Amino acid sequence: MLYGRLDDLRSRAADQLARVLRETGGTPQARTERDASTAMYSEQLSQYSAVENGLVFGRLDFQDGAHQHIGRIGVFDEDHDYEPLLMDWRAPAARPFYLATAAAPDGVNRRRHIRTSMRKVTAVDDEVLDLATADVTKHEGLTGEAALLAAVNSSRTGRMTDIVQTIQAEQDKIIRSGLNGVLVVQGGPGTGKTAVALHRAAYLLYTYRAQLARRGVLVVGPNSTFLRYIGQVLPSLGETGVLLATVGELFPGVKPDRTEPVEAASVKGRVAMTDVIATAVKECQRVPEDYLEIRFEREVLKLDRETCVQARARARRSRRVHNKAKPLIVPVILDSLARQYADRIGADPLGGKNLLDPTDIEDIRRELSEDDGVQAALDWLWPTVTPTELLEDLFRDKDKLAKAAPKLTERERDLLHREPGGWTPADAALLDEAAELLGIDDTATRAAQARERQEEIDYASGVLDILDMQDDADPEILTATDLIDARRLAGRYEDTDHRTAAERAAADREWVFGHVIVDEAQELSAMAWRMLMRRCPSRSMTLVGDVAQTGDPAGTTSWQTVLEPYVEDRWRLEQLTVNYRTPSEIMAVAADVLGPGMAAPTSVRDSGVEPWHLWVPDIQAQLDEIVAKEVAAVGDGTLAVIVPSGLSETSADVDAQVSVLTVGQAKGLEFDSVLVVDPALILAQSPRGANDLYVALTRATQRLGVIHPGELPESLSRLADTA
C-alpha cells in the first residue's frame, strides 16, 4: 500500500514537472515562478527515488492497540484528513522506535524491524517490550539487536549506508540534540560518529526547516575520497541541499591541486600564521627610503618619505581593510604634489603671492589624479592586492618571508618557500585569513554592475516609449509609463538566483551557514578553525571526532584548546562508547597500540577470526600473492591495503574491491578486510605515528592482517603469528 502511494506521489510530481516544462513564454514573473516550480518538482522526484530502498523499516504496536509504521519519509492519507500512513523517522512520534526499552517501554508493546529487498519483505525481527513476556536481552542498552547485528555483519560496498533502521539510544540522543551552540561528539573508531553526524544533518533540516533551508548546512570532511564515501547517505534520507566540502575547498575559486610535506602543512596550520599574514599585508604598504620622483607635465615632482609616512598612517588609523583604505592616502599625496606644482608654475616672478587661485589648484589636483605616473606611484605606495597574489608573492620570495615571519625558524620558512603554481589544502585557511585583512576591491565590479543596470534601464525606457506610442491612440487608456517606470521594468527582467543555498554558499566566501557539521574534527588546524568559525558566527555547530585518532601534526588532542578562543567553555560534550565496526578480536590489538590510559570503545560483536601478522622480507615481491589470498578469504567484500605514506599518493577509488591507501586517505573509511603494510614505518613516519597505526587497524569490519619487512612493533605482539 505504501509503495503504491509512493508511486502515486512520484507520477503526480512527474506530471506536474512535465506540465511546467511544456509552458513557454509569459511574463518574466511567470518565468520566475516556473523556474521555482521546476526546481521543486525535480527535487520531489529525486527525493521519491532516493527513498525507494527501505521505504518502510519499522512498526510500533502500542499498548492501547494502535500501531504506526516508521519510514524514511512521511506519507499521508489525503482522503482521510491527512492521517499519517507512514511516520517520518525524524518526527517526534517516531522516537520510541529508537528509545523504547523493556525497562522504559514508553507505551510501546512491540517494536518490529522490517527488512526489505527491493519491494519485498525479507525478514521481520520483533522485540516485545512488555516486561512480563520479554527476554532480558544480552547486550544492555542495545535496541533491535537482531537487525543491528545483521547490519553490522553485512559486507561493505565502498559507499556508506544509512543506519536509520537501527539507530541506538546513545546515538539518537545526539542526532536529536537542539540546534543551538557547539556540540562536540567524541567517540572511538567505529562508534558511528560519521553516521550520527549525517543523520543529525537530516534531522536538523527536517525539524528546523524554516531556519536552515535558506542558509544551508555545511558538512566538512577530511578528504574527497571520504566525501565520495559518505555522498549517498543524505539523499537516501531524503535530503539533497547540504554542501559537502573539505576544509581545503572552502576558499571559493581555489581547488587544492598541489601537495606538500606534512611539516609544511603543519607550519601553515599554526595560529602564528595570522601574524605572518598581517605583517605581509603591512609590508605591501610602502614608503620610499628617501623620496619618489614623479614626472608631471614638464616638471619633476618629489614625494618625500615624510609625506608618504603621513599618508600611510592616516590609512592605517582608519582600521579599514587594506584594499578599502587606499582612497585615504590619495588626498594626502595629491595635496602635496599639487602644492609643489603650483609653487613652480604659479610663482610670482616678483616674489609676491602665488598667482594661481583655488580653482586652478583644484584643476591641477584633478589632472594629477588622472596622470599615469601619479597612479603608478599610488600603486607602488599602496597596491591593490588579492589574497592569491599576496600569498604567491610571499611564498616565492625568501626576503619577504624573512620580514613577514621573523618568529619562524629558518627551516620553517624554507618549508613555506615555493614557486607559484597551484594550492594545497592548508593554503585555503591562509587565503581566507588574507582575504579578511585585504578585503575585496570591488570598485570595478560595482562600476560594471552599475553600467549594466543603466543599460537595462535605457533599454526598458525604449520599450516603454514604444508601448506609449501605441497607447497614444486612445487617451482613455492608461499608458504603460503611468503604470510602471523604466527602473522597475528593468528590475523585473533581472535574473533571480535559482541556485540552491548550497550552490550559492560554495561560491561565496562571506556566506554564513545555518549549521556547520565537521567530521574528523580533531584533524583541523588552528588556522582552519578560524576560517570555519567565520562561516558560522551563530556557532550552531556539531563537531565529531576522536582525539585519539589525530594524525595531522597541526590537529588537536584537546577539544577545550580548540574551542576556547571562540566559545570559552560554553560547549556540550556527548560521548559514544560502542564500536559497531571493528570486531572485538581486532579491537583488542588496536587498544594495545593506543596504550594505557586511553579508553578504546567496546565492540558490539566478535568475528571469530583471529587477526594475524606475517614477516615478509621482500614486500614488493610477495604482496600480490598475499593480496590474492586475502581477496579469496573475503569473498565479494572489500579489501584495503594500508601503506606508509610516500608509497601511494594516488587518489583512491572508493568503488574498487581492492584499494591501496595511506592512513590519511583511509581515515573515516571501512573495509571488510584490511592489510596493514610495514607498521614500524607507519609509526616512525609521523610524530603521531601511534595514532596513525590505531586508525589503520580499526578500519576492518571482519579481517585484519599485518605484514612487516622488519621487526614487528612491540605493541602488536598480540597478533597471531602465521609464519
**Which stretch in 79-87, 165-173, 474-482, 708-716 sits in contact with ligand ATP by CB under 6 A?**
165-173
**Looking at 57-65, 190-198, 243-251, 261-269, which segment touches ligand ATP (CB under 6 A)?**
190-198
Select the span of 166-174, 453-461, 521-529, 551-559 touching ligand ATP (CB under 6 A).
Answer: 166-174
User: Closer CB to ligand ATP, residue 39 or residue 146?
Assistant: 146
- The DSSP letter of residue 550 is -
Lay out the site mask for ligand ATP across 558-587 (x = CB under 6 A, - = otherwise).
----------------------xx------
**CB of 635 within 8 A of CB of 602?**
no
Stretch that binds ligand ATP, among 41-49, 81-89, 160-168, 364-372 (CB under 6 A): 160-168
For residue 154, give every residue at least 6 positions away whose Cβ sits within 8 Å of its Cβ, in sequence order, or none: none
Query: Quick one: 222 or 387, whose CB is closer to ligand ATP?
Result: 222
Q: Which helix (H) or strand (E) holds 721?
A: strand 720-721
Q: Quick check: 666 and 640 in contact, CB under 8 A?
A: yes
Q: Give the span between the Cα atoms of 464 and 456, in whole angstroms.
A: 12
- Our CB check for ligand ATP shows the closer of 236 and 323 to be 236
Residue of 443, 434, 510 whose CA lies nearest to 282: 434
Distance in Å, CB of 495 to ligand ATP, minimum: 41
Measured from the CB atom, the residue of 166 and 525 that comes closer to ligand ATP is: 166
627 SS3 class: helix
Residues 351-361 as b/e (b if ≥16 CB within 10 A, e otherwise) read eeeeebeeeeb
Beta bridge partners of 124: 114
Compute the least distance from the CB of residue 171 to ligand ATP, in Å: 6
Question: CB-wise, 246 or 538, nearer to ligand ATP?
Answer: 246
Task: Determine how many CB atoms are found less than 10 A away from the CB of residue 419.
Answer: 8
Alpha-carbon Rg for the chain in angstroms: 33
Nearer to ligand ATP by Cβ, of 331 and 635: the residue is: 635
* Pairwise CA distance, residues 185 & 175, whole Å: 10
For residue 623, the minimal CB distance to ligand ATP (Å) is 25
Grouping H, G, I as helix, E, B as strand and the rest as coil, residue 637 is coil
387 vs 611, beta carbon nearer ligand ATP: 611
Asked if 590 interacts with ligand ATP (CB under 6 A), we say no
* Chosen residue from 74, 105, 187, 551 binding ligand ATP by CB under 6 A: 187
Length of the chain, in residues: 723
- Is 163 near ligand ATP (CB under 6 A)? yes
Residue 148 in contact with ligand ATP, rule: CB under 6 A? yes
Question: In the set 75, 99, 195, 674, which binds ligand ATP (CB under 6 A)?
Answer: 195
User: Which of 47, 101, 109, 191: binder of ligand ATP (CB under 6 A)?
Assistant: 191
Taking CB under 6 A as the criterion, the residue among 59, 69, 90, 193 binding ligand ATP is: 193
Q: How far is the CB of 236 from ligand ATP (least distance, A)?
A: 12
Question: According to the binding rule CB under 6 A, does residue 384 interact with ligand ATP?
Answer: no
Shortest spacing between CB 269 and ligand ATP, in angstroms: 21
Among the residue ranges 20-28, 163-171, 290-298, 702-710, the one whose residues contact ligand ATP (CB under 6 A):
163-171
Q: Which amino acid is at 112?
A: R
Tell me which stretch binds ligand ATP (CB under 6 A): 148-156, 242-250, 394-402, 656-664: 148-156
Answer yes or no whether residue 194 interacts with ligand ATP by CB under 6 A: yes
Residues 685/692, Cβ–Cβ less than 8 Å: yes
Which range of residues in 101-109, 124-132, 183-191, 391-399 is near ligand ATP by CB under 6 A? 183-191
- DSSP letters for 108-170: EEEEEEEEEETTEEEEEEEEE--TTTPPPPSSTT-SSHHHHHHHHHSPP-SS----TTS--HH
Site string for ligand ATP, 522-561 (x = CB under 6 A): ------------------------x--x------------
For residue 373, the one-letter residue type is G
Among residues 356 and 541, whose Cβ is nearest to ligand ATP?
Answer: 541
d(CA 292, CA 515): 52
The answer to whether 207 and 90 have CB atoms below 8 angstroms apart is yes
Are 48 and 13 a contacting pair, CB within 8 Å? Answer: yes
**How far is it, in rounded angstroms, from Cα 22 to Cα 34?**
10
- List 6, 86, 94, 152, residue binding ligand ATP (CB under 6 A): 152
Min dist CB 193 to ligand ATP, Å, is 3
Count of residues in contact with ligand ATP, rule CB under 6 A: 23
Answer yes or no whether residue 603 interacts with ligand ATP by CB under 6 A: no
Query: In angstroms, rounded to a whole number, what is the distance separating the alpha carbons of residues 664 and 675?
Result: 15
Closest alpha carbon to 46 in 241, 242, 238, 204: 238
Interaction mask 654-673, ligand ATP, x per CB under 6 A: --------------x-x---
Dig out the grid coordinates for 267 from the structure. 607550519
Residue from 696, 701, 699 nearest 682 by CA: 696
CB of 30 vs ligand ATP, minimal distance in Å: 46
Burial zone of 34 (CB within 10 Å; 0-12 exposed, 13-18 middle, 19+ buried):
middle
Is-contact 286 361, C-beta < 8 A?
Answer: no
Q: Candidates 144-152, 239-247, 677-685, 715-723: pick the segment binding ligand ATP (CB under 6 A).
A: 144-152
SS3 596: coil
Report residue 366 CA to chain centroid gap.
Answer: 48
User: Among candidates 366, 332, 360, 330, which has minimal Cα distance to 344?
Assistant: 360
- Rounded CA-CA distance 87/331 in Å is 68
694 contributes a contact to ligand ATP by CB under 6 A: no
The distance of closest approach from Cβ of residue 392 to ligand ATP in the complex, given in angstroms and rounded to an integer, is 35
Nearest CB to ligand ATP, comparing residues 171 and 323: 171
Nearest distance, CB of residue 596 and ligand ATP, angstroms: 21
Report d(CA 720, CA 641) in Å as an integer.
19
Hey, which residues between 52 and 91 contact ligand ATP (CB under 6 A)? none
Q: Which is nearer to ligand ATP, 164 or 460 (CB)?
A: 164
Q: In Å, how far from its chain's centre is CA 522?
A: 15
d(CA 555, CA 269): 8
Grid cell at residue 229: 564515501
In angstroms, what is the minimal distance from the CB of 159 to ligand ATP? 11
CB closer to ligand ATP, 6 vs 163 = 163
Nearer to ligand ATP, 192 or 238 (CB): 192
Count of Cβ atoms closer than 10 Å to residue 441 Cβ: 16
* Alpha carbons 574 and 579: distance in angstroms, whole number: 15
Residue 276 contacts ligand ATP per CB under 6 A: no
Distance CA 621, CA 377 (A): 66
Contact 664, 223 (CB under 8 A): yes
Least distance (Å) from ligand ATP to the CB of residue 331?
58
Is the CB of 85 or the CB of 164 nearer to ligand ATP?
164
Would you count residue 190 as binding ligand ATP (CB under 6 A)? yes
User: Which residues are annotated binding-site positions?
Assistant: 187-194
Can residue 192 be called a binding residue for ligand ATP (CB under 6 A)? yes
Q: Known binding site for ATP: residues?
A: 187-194
- The rounded distance, in Å, linking the Cα atoms of 532 and 511 is 11
Residue number with the smallest Cβ distance to ligand ATP? 192
Does 513 engage in binding with ligand ATP (CB under 6 A)? no
Cβ proximity to ligand ATP: between 167 and 516 the closer is 167
Which residues are near ligand ATP by CB under 6 A?
148, 151-152, 163, 166-168, 171, 187, 189-195, 546, 549, 580-581, 668, 670, 698
